[in-house]
């Protein structure tokens, strides 16, 4: 491998992302985009499945979750439970709600971010790259 190839590889995104969304098409699109730019992605269809993965030994650097999960716990509850298990877990909420619906009456904790729907897929990719680079 040449030094240019090594440098290029160091600039490539890497890391483990858990995507939790109850819409299979949204999950599939986000997974495809993030895998295409170099991330390893694990998917969950609801909060309970996401929580089981967070409780496991599966490496997860970033949780990307819809706030309005339709079954069981919502995305904020999942993020809070995930951070109790993995305090350094970064979280990106994707939501069609206003950002203050996610935040509530306070502010988001350090390492928690919001991306409001609808968004361009490039925005998702850029935001994830930014969050993963800061870990």
CB 18 within 8 A of CB 63: yes
What separation in angstroms does the CA of 57 have from each of 20, 21, 54?
A: 17, 21, 8
Report the first-to-last Cα separation within the chain, whole angstroms: 27
Could you read off the pLDDT of 54-111 as tens digits, one per residue?
Answer: 999 999 999 999 988 888 899 999 999 999 999 999 999 998 766 555 555 557 788 8
Domains (range + CATH), the chain: 3-133 (3.40.50.2300)
Could you read off the pLDDT of 18-37 as tens digits, one per residue?
Answer: 999 999 999 999 999 999 99
Model confidence, pTM:
0.86
């Amino acid at each position: 491998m040449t030094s240019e190839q090594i440098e290029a590889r160091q600039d490539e995104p890497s890391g483990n992302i858990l995507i939790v969304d109850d819409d299979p098409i949204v999950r599939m699109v986000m997974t495809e985009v993030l895998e295409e730019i170099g991330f390893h992605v694990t998917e969950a269809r609801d909060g309970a499945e996401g929580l089981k993965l967070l409780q496991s030994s599966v490496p997860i650097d970033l949780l990307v979750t819809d706030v309005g999960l339709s079954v069981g716990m919502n995305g904020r509850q999942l993020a809070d439970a995930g951070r109790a298990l993995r305090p350094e877990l970064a979280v990106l909420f994707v939501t069609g709600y206003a950002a203050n619906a996610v935040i509530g009456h306070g502010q988001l904790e350090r390492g928690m971010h919001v991306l409001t729907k609808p968004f361009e897929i490039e925005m998702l990719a850029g935001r994830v790259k930014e969050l993963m680079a800061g870990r």
